[in-house]
């Protein structure tokens, strides 16, 4: 069991958050005991990740008030295995990729994200959070990645930006296309697979042997694109969340 105080979520979501990763050796009882300490410390939003094949946790965490919100797939594509299907590649016409380094371009992308373009992650689907909170969380995350030397790209159709993606370096052999999205999924329906093609193509233009990334089950279309392009699933985790009601402060004397 490993727990991290997710202090960044105070700025992102306005809550005290803790994230815990459990293993097959952990039990609902041992986590329940640890959870009491987190709540006593002021936890308001608890996130727990578990192995997929662990029935005790699968049934035990809901009994503690947790909701299973997504499955996380850890995927990898080796350079030698990368192959975008012709059914996608043949539509790659008139699209270009531009690296964005100017602060004005980055601020424009932050504003688009804050307007609410992410709809499938555990925060976006959670009725306890607003679209504005979810958008703010992603914009802040993007800014953090760029400060850590992540690379921000936009995909253009002609002169019109249709989406963005970010590539981060994991190690000397590995890159990670951490984040990507279409700006207007309804208007550009069908463009998603091409955005992923441009993302993966650009990853393998970097000096690397492979890419690794995570994909959530709420966005199964992305997993399909990746597996069709040569990805293997290296690991799978379940994600659970629980919201803890804020305790009222002491009455004024």
pLDDT tens column, 195-210: 999 999 999 999 999 9
Do residues 48 and 239 lie in contact, with contact meaning Cβ atoms separated by under 8 Å? Answer: yes
Q: 92-106 b/e with 16+ CB inside 10 Å = b?
A: eeebeeeebeeeebb
Asked if the model's pLDDT at residue 219 lies above 90, the reply is no
Number of DSSP helices (H) and strands (E) in the chain, helices first: 8, 10
CA–CA separation, 216 and 238 (whole Å): 10
Look at residue 5 and tell me whether its pLDDT is greater than 90.
Answer: yes
Domains of the chain with bracketed CATH = 2-72+238-243 (no CATH), 75-234 (3.40.630.30)
pLDDT of residue 185: 72
Cβ-proximal residues to 198 (8 Å cutoff; 6+ apart), any chain:
92, 95, 97, 153, 155, 165
Q: What is the pLDDT of residues 9-30, one digit of tens each?
A: 999 999 999 999 999 999 999 9
pTM of the predicted model over 0.85: yes
For the ranges 3-7, 136-140, 181-185, the lowest mean pLDDT is seen at 181-185
Q: Are 231 and 201 in contact (CB under 8 A)?
A: no
Residue 139 CA to residue 144 CA, distance in Å, equals 9
To the nearest whole percent, how much of the chain has pLDDT over 90? 86
CA triple 61-65-68, angle to 5 deg: 60
Average pLDDT for 130-135: 93
* Percent of the chain's residues with pLDDT above 70: 96
Residue 252 has pLDDT above 50, yes or no: no
């Amino acid at each position: 069991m490993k727990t991290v105080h997710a202090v960044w979520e105070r700025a992102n979501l306005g809550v005290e958050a803790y994230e815990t990763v459990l293993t097959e050796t952990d039990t609902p009882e041992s986590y329940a005991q640890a959870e009491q300490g987190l709540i006593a410390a002021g936890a308001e939003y608890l996130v727990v990740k578990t192995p997929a094949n662990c029935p005790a946790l699968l049934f035990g965490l809901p009994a503690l008030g947790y909701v299973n919100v997504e499955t996380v797939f850890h995927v990898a594509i080796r350079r030698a295995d990368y192959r975008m299907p012709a059914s996608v590649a043949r539509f790659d016409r008139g699209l270009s990729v531009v690296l964005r380094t100017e602060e004005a371009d980055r601020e424009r992308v932050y504003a688009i994200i804050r307007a609410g373009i992410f709809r499938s992650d555990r925060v976006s689907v959670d009725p306890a959070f607003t679209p504005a909170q979810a958008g703010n969380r992603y914009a802040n995350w993007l800014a953090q990645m760029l400060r850590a030397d992540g690379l921000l790209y936009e995909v253009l159709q002609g002169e019109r930006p249709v989406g963005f993606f970010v590539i981060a370096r994991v190690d000397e052999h590995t890159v990670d296309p951490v984040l990507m999205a279409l700006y207007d999924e309804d208007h550009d329906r069908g463009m998603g697979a091409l955005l992923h093609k441009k993302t993966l193509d650009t990853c393998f233009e970097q000096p690397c042997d492979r890419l690794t990334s995570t994909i959530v089950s709420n966005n199964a279309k992305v997993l399909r694109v990746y597996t069709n392009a040569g990805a293997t699933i290296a690991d799978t985790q379940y994600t659970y969340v629980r919201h803890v009601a804020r305790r009222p402060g002491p009455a004024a004397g």
